[in-house]
C-alpha cells in the first residue's frame, strides 16, 4: 500500500470530482418563458389578486403542496425568510422562549432573536443528530411559545411526542426541513410533521433556484399569517378584514417569477435524483460499517433519510487516532470538486459549532428586546456544556462527506472508498 499523502506519499486521486449540476434545458425554457412575458415579478403590496404573486409563483406553490401532501405552500426568497415568517406567524415576541437545536445553521435560532424571543437550546440525539425529544420536553416552561425542530442532514426529527405536547399547551412546532426535501417519517413528508415546515432552495441543496424557500402548513390561519408577513401585510389587513395583527409588519420575502420557474422544474426532477442518492448513501454506509471505530448513519425505523450529507461517527478510543487527524489525512488523498473550488475535498469533521457558543449568545449584545428584555422573566444559559451530546458530536465524533450524490460514477465513489481504506489501514502512523 502506498504511503499516506499527508506524510509525503501520492494521493489516491488528483483529478477533480465532477460538479453536481441539476440545471438543464427545462429550467432554461422556464426562464425564457418568463422573460418573454416581461413580468419578472407580479406581487403587489396591496389587496389585489396579485397580492399572492404571479402565475409561476402560484404554479410552484401548488406543485410543492402536492408533492408533500400539504394544504398550503407559500414561496419565499430564502429558507431564512421562511423561518422569520414562521416565527412571526407563531406570534413569538418579547418575553417568549423558543426551544431550538444548537446543531444547525445559525438562522434556525437567529430568527427567534429577530422577533424578540429567547432561544433555549436543547440537546440532540447521538445517532440522528436531530433534537432529542426528551431534552425538548425537559426545556418547556410557561414561557415556551414555539419549538424549531431541524431535520438535520436529511433525517426527519422525531416530532410525534413534540406534537402531542404542543397540542396540549398551545405551542407551535416549526420544522426546519431545509436539508430534507421528500424525507419521510412513516407516511408523512418532512414539512408536514409539525405545524409549519420550511424548505430551502439555496444553490447547494438537493434542488435549487439559486436562492429561495418554500413554507408548508395544513393550518389555514397560519397560512394566511405567513402570506401577510411575506408581503407587507400591514397594508392589506384592513381590506382583508383581518383582526389578528400581532407581528403583521412590513416585510418583503417575495420570490421572483424567474426563481419560481426554475424551482418548479427542479421539483419535477427531485424524485429521480433521490433514488440513486439514497442508494449510493446506503452503499457507503455498508462500506464504512466494515471498519472498527466507525458508525454509519442510523435511520430511525419507518423514516426516509435523504442524506444532504453522509454523516458517520468516529470512535477515537477504538481507532487510536482522533477524528480530526484522520479527516486531515483523508482530505489529503482526495481532490476538490468542480463548482466548489476553494472548499477543498468535500470531507469534514463536525458540522457547525453549537450555536450558543457564537458571540451573539455569549455576549448578548443585540439591540433588540430579546435576552435582556424587561418583559423576559425567565433565565437562560448559553454556557459551554449545556448540550454535551452536540459538543461531543461536533468536536470529537461526527464526520461527513458528499461522495454519495447521484451524479457521481462508481469510479468516483470508489476513489473515496480507496482513500478511506488507505488511511484507516495506516492510521497508526497518524498518532
Confidence of residue 1 (pLDDT cuts 50, 70, 90): confident
pLDDT value, residue 126: 97
Q: Which of 219, 134, 206 is nearest to 175 (CA)?
A: 219
pLDDT value, residue 256: 98
Residues 52, 257 contacting (CB under 8 angstroms): no
pLDDT value, residue 393: 98
- What is the CB neighbour count within 10 angstroms for residue 75? 31
125 in any annotated domain: yes
pLDDT value, residue 134: 98
Q: What is the CATH number of the domain that holds 262?
A: 3.40.640.10
Share of the chain above pLDDT 70, in %: 100
Instruction: Give tens-digit pLDDT for 193-252.
Output: 999 999 999 999 999 999 999 999 999 999 999 999 999 999 999 999 999 999 998 799
128 in any annotated domain: yes
Which cell goes with 403?
461522495
396 in any annotated domain: no
84 in any annotated domain: yes
**pLDDT score of 51 more than 90:** yes
Which cell goes with 288?
464504512
142-162 as b/e, with b when 16 or more CB fall inside 10 Å? ebbbbbbbbbbbbbbbbbeeb
Which residue range is the domain that position 37 belongs to?
25-266
pLDDT value, residue 249: 87
Half-sphere exposure at residue 406, Cβ-oriented, CA atoms within 13 angstroms? 18
Confidence of residue 369 (pLDDT cuts 50, 70, 90): confident
DSSP state of 304: E
119 in any annotated domain: yes
Distance from C-alpha of 148 to C-alpha of 218, rounded to nearest angstrom: 17
Instruction: Give tens-digit pLDDT for 258-276.
Output: 999 999 999 999 999 999 9
pLDDT value, residue 372: 85
| Residues 6 or more apart in contact with residue 381 via CB below 8 angstroms | none
Q: How many helices (H) and strands (E) does the chain have?
A: 14, 14
What's the first-to-final CA gap in the chain, in angstroms? 19
Distance from C-alpha of 362 to C-alpha of 382, rounded to nearest angstrom: 6
Quote the mean pLDDT of the chain.
97
80 in any annotated domain: yes
pTM of the model: 0.97
9 in any annotated domain: no
β-bridge partners, 144? 97
pLDDT value, residue 98: 98
Distance from C-alpha of 240 to C-alpha of 102, rounded to nearest angstrom: 39
Identify the weakest region by mean pLDDT among 23-37, 129-143, 362-376. Answer: 362-376
Instruction: Give tens-digit pLDDT for 286-331.
Output: 999 999 999 999 999 999 999 999 999 999 999 999 999 999 999 9
Give me the number of domains the chain comprises.
1
101 in any annotated domain: yes
pLDDT value, residue 365: 81
Confidence of residue 26 (pLDDT cuts 50, 70, 90): very high
Which cell goes with 147?
419549538
Amino acid at each position: 500500500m502506498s504511503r499516506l499523502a499527508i506524510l509525503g506519499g501520492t494521493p489516491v486521486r488528483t483529478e477533480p470530482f465532477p460538479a453536481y449540476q441539476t440545471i438543464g434545458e427545462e429550467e432554461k425554457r422556464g426562464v425564457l418563458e418568463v422573460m418573454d412575458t416581461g413580468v419578472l415579478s407580479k406581487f403587489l403590496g396591496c389587496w389585489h389578486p396579485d397580492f399572492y404573486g404571479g402565475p409561476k409563483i402560484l404554479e410552484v406553490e401548488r406543485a410543492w403542496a402536492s408533492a408533500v401532501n400539504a394544504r398550503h405552500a407559500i414561496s419565499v426568497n430564502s429558507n431564512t425568510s421562511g423561518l422569520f415568517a414562521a416565527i412571526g406567524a407563531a406570534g413569538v415576541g418579547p418575553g417568549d422562549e423558543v426551544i431550538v437545536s444548537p446543531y444547525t445553521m445559525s438562522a434556525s435560532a437567529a430568527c427567534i432573536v429577530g422577533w424578540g424571543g429567547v432561544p433555549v437550546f436543547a440537546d440532540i440525539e447521538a445517532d440522528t443528530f436531530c433534537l432529542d425529544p426528551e431534552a425538548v420536553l425537559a426545556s418547556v416552561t410557561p414561557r415556551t411559545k414555539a419549538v424549531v425542530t431541524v431535520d438535520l442532514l436529511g433525517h426527519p426529527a422525531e416530532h410525534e411526542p413534540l406534537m402531542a405536547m404542543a397540542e396540549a399547551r398551545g405551542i407551535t412546532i416549526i420544522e426546519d426541513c431545509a436539508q430534507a426535501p421528500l424525507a419521510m417519517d412513516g407516511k408523512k413528508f418532512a414539512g408536514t410533521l409539525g405545524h409549519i415546515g420550511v424548505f430551502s432552495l439555496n444553490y447547494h441543496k438537493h434542488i435549487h433556484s439559486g436562492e429561495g424557500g418554500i413554507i408548508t402548513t395544513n393550518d389555514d390561519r397560519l397560512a394566511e399569517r405567513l402570506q401577510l408577513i411575506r408581503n407587507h401585510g400591514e397594508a392589506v389587513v384592513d381590506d382583508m378584514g383581518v383582526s389578528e395583527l400581532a407581528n403583521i409588519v412590513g416585510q418583503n420575502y417575495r420570490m421572483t417569477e424567474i426563481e419560481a420557474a426554475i424551482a418548479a422544474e427542479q421539483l419535477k426532477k427531485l424524485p429521480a435524483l433521490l433514488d440513486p442518492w439514497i442508494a449510493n448513501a446506503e452503499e457507503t454506509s455498508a462500506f464504512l460499517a466494515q471498519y472498527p471505530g466507525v458508525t454509519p448513519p442510523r435511520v430511525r425505523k419507518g423514516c426516509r433519510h435523504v442524506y444532504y450529507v453522509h454523516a458517520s461517527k468516529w470512535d477515537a478510543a477504538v481507532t487510536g487516532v482522533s477524528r480530526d487527524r484522520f479527516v486531515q489525512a483523508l482530505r489529503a488523498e482526495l481532490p476538490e470538486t468542480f463548482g466548489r473550488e476553494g472548499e477543498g475535498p468535500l470531507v469534514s469533521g463536525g458540522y457547525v459549532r453549537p450555536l450558543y457558543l457564537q458571540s451573539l449568545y455569549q455576549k448578548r449584545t443585540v439591540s433588540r428586546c430579546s435576552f435582556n428584555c424587561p418583559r423576559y422573566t425567565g433565565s437562560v444559559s448559553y454556557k459551554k456544556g449545556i448540550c454535551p451530546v452536540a459538543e461531543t458530536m461536533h468536536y470529537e465524533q461526527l464526520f461527513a462527506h458528499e461522495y454519495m450524490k447521484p451524479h457521481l460514477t462508481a469510479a468516483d465513489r470508489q476513489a473515496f472508498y480507496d482513500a478511506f481504506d488507505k488511511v484507516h489501514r495506516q492510521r497508526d502512523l497518524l498518532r
